[in-house]
Amino acid sequence: MWQEGFGSLLWRGGVSNAQAYESPSSRVIRASELLAHQTRVRTRWLPVTVWVFFALSSLTGAIGGLFATVAAAPQPGPGGPLEGVVYGMALVVTGLSAIVFTLCLFLRPPAKDFTPRNWIIAIGSCAILFIGFRLATHSGRYNLSIQIVDPQGHPIPKVSVEYTSYPLGEGIGRLDHIASGVTSTDSSGTITLRTNHAHTVSVQMRRDGFQTTSFHLEAAGHGYPHQIVSSVVDVLVPAGIVPGRDGWLFPRDGDVRLRVTLPFISSDG
């Protein structure tokens, strides 16, 4: 009777008879199992975060690759070979991203793991990673200024300048925004582009009374410099650079300023 009263007291206090007379080894085992269960519950955010990261990355890669294949479709002109290389790279990125996204649709964590808490952790972690990735791709950016002059050295305004960049260098800078478009020189005959050292820039210039002229500014990496092979281009910045047997060679160090001389159209032509 005394034991029944004591057992009832323990039960009212939140401890059962079995727990009151539990051996120390059983208590250790039960505590270990409880700790393992709590650990599994707490770490369920990790597979959700990994899944969300691959799903978002592959979806972004597939969409971006589709746009890149349309934009980089090879066209007749001096940039045709470079466009062909970029077009092939865009097709590969699109295909791989589509495969990864399809796998994510079939290989995903259990539905019970997609709790509001895990969604918040996953999306927050991915946002931090994407922001860091974007900042890293911008680390190689620089201003490319091009002044266009006639053979007497006079600036030529209103020159139509078509430019396209290609991610043919090295490093994460290749994934930076592709600079491309058409613009015109100002009264000083100058245009300024924002591009990346890891990108090759193709420039074509047109103006009535002058020969249509183009050149390529090759991408630079940690082990090789920028290169320009053209008889009408002079490198003003970086200063002190002189052309060699392989054209103009200069390191990826800050902004670049070029001067391009457009030849007059010959009266014989």
Quote the CA–CA distance of 212 and 171 in Å, as a whole number: 33
Q: Give the pLDDT confidence score for residue 45 in this predicted structure.
A: 86
Q: Which of the four pLDDT bands, split at 50, 70 and 90, describes residue 41?
A: low
Q: What is the rounded average pLDDT of the residues 4-30?
A: 54
State how beta strands 141-149 and 256-261 pair.
parallel
Q: Give the pLDDT confidence score for residue 21 in this predicted structure.
A: 55
Q: Which of the four pLDDT bands, split at 50, 70 and 90, describes residue 153?
A: very high
Segment among 13-22, 154-163, 168-177 with least mean pLDDT: 13-22
Q: What is the rounded average pLDDT of the residues 140-167?
A: 95
Q: Which of the four pLDDT bands, split at 50, 70 and 90, describes residue 85?
A: confident
Structure tokens at 146: 């091009």
Q: What is the rounded average pLDDT of the residues 42-65?
A: 88
Say which residue the tokens 């078509």 belong to: 162
Q: What is the rounded average pLDDT of the residues 39-64?
A: 84
Phi, psi angle pair for 8, to nearest 5°? -65, -35
Quote the CA–CA distance of 98 and 151 in Å, as a whole number: 52
Tell whether the model's pLDDT for residue 268 goes beyond 80. Answer: no
Q: What is the pLDDT of residues 196-210, one digit of tens each?
A: 999 999 999 999 999
Q: Give the pLDDT confidence score for residue 73 in this predicted structure.
A: 72
Q: Give the pLDDT confidence score for residue 175 in this predicted structure.
A: 85
CA 10 to chain centre: 63
Quote the CA–CA distance of 57 and 51 in Å, as a whole number: 10
Q: Give the pLDDT confidence score for residue 182 in this predicted structure.
A: 95
Q: What is the rounded average pLDDT of the residues 47-72?
A: 88
Q: Give the pLDDT confidence score for residue 11 in this predicted structure.
A: 45
Q: Give the pLDDT confidence score for residue 104 in this predicted structure.
A: 94
Tell whether the model's pLDDT for residue 63 goes beyond 60. Answer: yes
Q: Judge whether 262 and 211 are in contact, CB under 8 Å.
A: yes
